[in-house]
A and B are shown apart, each in its own frame.
Chain A
Amino acid sequence: MEELFIIENLSKSFGNKKVLHNISLRIFKGEIFTILGPSGVGKTTLLRILNLLEMPTTGKLIFNGKDTAILQKNNVMGRMSMLFQIPAVFNTSVFKNVAYGLQIRKMDKKTINIKVIDALALVGLAGFENQKALTLSGGEAQRMAFARAIVFKPDVILLDEPTANLDPANVAKIEEIIQKIRSELGTTIIMASHNIHQVRRLADRVGILLNGELIEVNTKDQIFTHPNDPRSIAFIKGDIIY
């Protein structure tokens, strides 16, 4: 499989606080890779570094074979999108929210129209185009954020606990969308989650992050049936309270 991200000896500190320690990881094109771990262990920080919203303190980040340190930040960021726990909603219509990434890429109106309608259909929001985005429910807003993230066909989507604040029905819908995005668009998906059950349902490969340290990376089956690290075993068994 072809590598999309190569992360080498990456560390991140905020002041004196070291958040990520010496992370090395490879993420392959087209896979769903999940970063699994309790809250506050650095999952979001790692995603933000992958999205270039934060710069690592030390280490190397290679995207599509090129070192991000020497690439134009916008060129790299333009090929990914990231969804946060709480979706950001622009104070305008659903259509304009979803069209945003296409408009800043200066696409013509006809193309934008087609792509937005397709993206909204994919996330089950067909017919919501003219609704004010601020009137959407939490689940609908997150689905709209998904449509906005996929509409310009990024190489990778980074998901930061995308179902953390949703009810089970909306969680199911979002998980269905994640699988659809991968199967229909072939997009690489990197997801941070503390939810072991969700990771079991969605992931191809899993990396377990504890206290800023990536303690184990393996396929989902291996991680959940034969974890190697005692801390992984404790976390999966639920002995580590979070």
Chain B
Amino acid sequence: MDSTGFLLQGIIKAFELIFSLNPYIMSITAVSIWVSGTATLLATLTAIPLALIISFVNFRGKQAFITFVNTGMGLPPVFVGLFVFLMIVPVGPFGFLNIVYTKEAMILAQYILITPIITGISLAAIKAVPQLIIETVYTLGGTGKDAAIATLKEARFGIITAVLAGLGRALAEVGAILIVGGNIARTGSVGGIGEGLSETRTLTTAITSETSKGDISTSIALGIILICLVLCVNILANYFQRRD
């Protein structure tokens, strides 16, 4: 078989796997969405109040904290994975949590990775709101809380973009979750492929393992789903950026 035929066969088989809703593929997709979605939700709940506090409250070391957040935006995932792993292994300081090689550990790693991203981009969106808007709220009799709400409303499209950027990064991330999640699937094959339903196997980690096993069609199927998810996130992000 030539290289074109080999690729074509892989792609056809990949679409068959997707459209037949293969349980192995679907379980991996579900784990990916659950882990990344939960991490994004938790990171958003942390990042937006944090961005508001940084914007509205003057505190000692504020500039250093902003530098820390900006540095966090570029954290290497494998380093975060290693750090979280060392914290949660049975002999680590948080070993008692017993979460190593679980979805919770993966959520924690992704939370650490994307919280600075959502905070940093939200902070930029909030800072772009003209001071005049905030002063107008005060001149109309508003309180500090009213000013914060008005600022969030004005920065809403930028903040949504920040959340989507975080979600996109989480979905595409592989290094950290591979270390703390272990890329585990249950034993036994389902639908004729893979090793069984996913426990901590995500689209990205599954692509690495399936490719290394030589199962190209499964890798391509997982890749197509991953690209579609990331594409949807980016289409949404572009939509909100245009509206801003």
- Which A residues form the contact surface with B (CB < 8 A)? 51, 53, 74, 77-82, 84, 86, 88, 90-92, 100-101, 104-105, 148-149, 152, 158
Contact = CB atoms under 8 A, between A and B. Distances in A.
Contacts of B137: 100, 104
Given A86-B132, A88-B135, A74 B154 contact: no
B141 A88 contact: no
Contact of B132 (A78, A88, A152): A88
Contacts of A74: 141, 143
Contacts of B135: 53, 82, 84, 88
Interface in B122-164: 130, 132-133, 135-143, 146, 150, 153-154
A79 B141 CA distance: 7
B25 to A, nearest CB: 42
Contact of B142 (A82, A91, A104, A149): A104
A77 B141 contact: yes
Contacts of B146: 104
A101 B140 contact: yes
Given A74-B141, A74-B143, A79-B141, 13 more contacts: A53-B139, A80-B139, A81-B139, A90-B153, A100-B140, A101-B140, A104-B143, A104-B146, A148-B140, A149-B139, A149-B140, A152-B140, A152-B141
B22 to A, nearest CB: 45
A160 to B, nearest CB: 10
9 contacts: A77-B139, A80-B139, A81-B139, A82-B135, A88-B135, A90-B150, A91-B154, A100-B150, A105-B141
Contacts of A86: 132
Contact of A90 (B138, B143, B154): B154
A88 B136 contact: yes
Nearest to A82: B139
Contacts of A77: 138-139, 141
A90 B140 contact: no
A51 B139 contact: yes
Contact of B141 (A78, A90, A91, A158): A78
A86 B132 CA distance: 9
Contacts of B141: 74, 77-79, 81, 101, 104-105, 152
A111 B139 CA distance: 21
Contacts of B132: 84, 86, 88
Contacts of B136: 84, 88
Q: Which of B139, B143, B154 has the most CB of A within 10 A?
A: B139
A98 to B, nearest CB: 10
Nearest to B244: A91
